[in-house]
Amino acid sequence: MQHLRSLIAAADLASKNVAPGAETSTSTLSRNLSGDRLPQRSTVEAIIQLCGVTDEVRAQLLRMHTAALGEAHPAFADRLVMADAYEETVLLHDRVQARLETVTGEHRRQQADYDDLLARHETTSQALTAAEDELCTRQQHHQQETARLRTLLQEEQDARRRDRTDFDDQFHQARVEGEEQLRGREEEEARLRQDLLAQENKIQAVRSLLEDSAAEASALRQERDQLRVESARLREDLVGLQVELAAAEAEQEKQGRHDEDTMFAPALQAVGQVLDRHPAAREDGEAAGKSRVAGAATQATAGAGNPVPPPAAAGPATPPESTEAGFAGLARVAVGTVVVSLVLFVIGQFQQAPGSSDLTTAGWWFTGSGFFLFVTSLIPLVVREMRNNPVVPGETDDQTYGYPPMG
């Protein structure tokens, strides 16, 4: 009571201002704060909410209230402490669950970046292969042109020795141009090789990040499961305590004793409010059965606490036939888009300027359009794969993400 009075004084509030917010009279609040009688847990939480304290202060005040209940009921002192432990465990579970969802989202983003790097690596490899083929063709053409010019030079030397200088200059110019083109192709090949090596190093770095995120997600999942088991065990103990308190109160009423110091209503209400505030997660039939037992025990003590609300009705599930039909339509659209993109890409490769191997503006447009359609067609297939293989809590890495763990 001393801490509550200090808290109200620090918040600069008066008893007449606190009583309406705590849903009690001013005289009752004054008796509670003076220590004449132990306030109910709802009154303590209302005062805490009006004062606007932090979570740590709120938890400490609730522990003190539980300790006061334990002094009033020594037989249940140890088990009343489990109410605070259960609430703290549930809050920790919620924080760990939020962290797990964040890590899972980051892992999916890194997986998408990894797939994009693989696609870019494949494109660079194809470009390197095309450059090597073109370099080989250029070398052959250069050799053939050199041989042809040598033959012409020899014939002209035999016919016109006086014009040999002109033919030598032409031969030298053609040779210089061929060497420059060959040197340019070799430099381009070296640049492509460097780009390929850099992308391979980046792929290795992203793969390492994926392994770290997968390991962190697995550790968080194990911690969440342990907290879930601990919260279920504590809830079972609280339900048993609630039943024992209800039986003790019924026995007290049966014997006709209404001593205020031995009333079980505050303790029973505190346990019931904790159970109502954090309902058990209904993951399977056994968990649902335990929740119904806890609800029945709470309803049996409706005079002391709030009844447990009925579970919400589940909404209608989406028929799997409609989902499969939609995915089949997406697959047909994706295949058609891939075919069109390949046709545009082939047409663009044949749009070259006369006397040059460089693509024209139309050629670049056709090639870019084909590449854009090809990348766009992958989106429906990725969506279908993700919807067919959703993330299920509790699975291992190879079951969740569809690939064996990297080592």
Res. 119 pLDDT band, cuts 50 70 90: very high
The burial of 4, by beta-carbon neighbours within 10 Å (0-12 exposed, 13-18 middle, 19 or more buried), is given as buried
Whole-number pLDDT of residue 84:
67
How far, in Å, CA of 90 to CA of 278, rounded?
7
Q: Is the pLDDT of residue 32 over 90?
A: no
Beta-carbon contacts of 287 under 8 Å, excluding residues fewer than 6 positions away, are 232, 280, 281
Residue pLDDT, tens place only, 258-282: 554 455 677 777 777 777 777 765 5
- pLDDT value at residue 4: 60
Q: And the tokens for 146?
A: 């050199």
The pLDDT, as a whole number, for residue 389 is: 59
Q: Is the pLDDT of residue 290 over 50?
A: no
Of 17-31, 81-95, 367-381, which range is least confident? 17-31
Q: pLDDT (tens digit, 9 = 90+) per residue, 125-168?
A: 999 999 999 999 999 999 999 999 999 888 888 887 776 676 67
Please tell me which residue, 405 or 271, carries the higher pLDDT value. Answer: 271
The proportion of the chain whose per-residue pLDDT surpasses 90, expressed as a percent, equals 15
Cα-Cα-Cα-Cα torsion 60, 64, 67, 72, nearest 10 degrees, comes to -160
Residue type, 316: P
Q: What is the pLDDT of residue 241?
A: 81
Query: What pLDDT does 346 receive?
Result: 80
Token duo for residue 122: 């494949």
pLDDT band at 97 (very low <50, low <70, confident <90, very high): very high
* pLDDT per residue as tens digits for the range 198-237: 888 988 888 888 888 888 889 998 988 998 898 888 888 8
Which whole number is the average pLDDT over 44-73? 64
Give the mean model confidence (pLDDT) for residues 309-314. Answer: 38
pLDDT: is 241 or 123 the higher one?
123
If pLDDT is split at 50, 70 and 90, which confidence band does 45 have? low
Average of per-residue pLDDT across 242-254: 82
Per-residue model confidence (pLDDT) at position 18: 58
d(C-alpha 253, C-alpha 370), whole Å = 84
Judge whether residue 116 has pLDDT over 90: yes
Angstrom distance (rounded) from CA 325 to CA 328: 5
Does residue 60 surpass a pLDDT of 80?
no
Q: Which of 6-20, 138-152, 347-361 has the highest mean pLDDT?
A: 138-152
Residue 302: phi and psi, rounded to 5, are -65, -25
According to the model, what pLDDT value does residue 305 have?
40
Query: What's the pTM value of the predicted model, to 2 decimals?
Result: 0.26
What's the mean pLDDT when you consider all of the chain?
72
361 has a pLDDT exceeding 60: yes
Residue 55 confidence (pLDDT): 62
pLDDT at 155: 85
Query: How far apart are the C-alpha atoms of 212 and 405, rounded to whole Å?
Result: 11
Sequence-separated (6 or more) residues with CB below 8 Å from residue 48: 7, 57, 58, 61, 62
Q: Once rounded to an integer, what is the mean pLDDT over residues 358-385?
A: 75
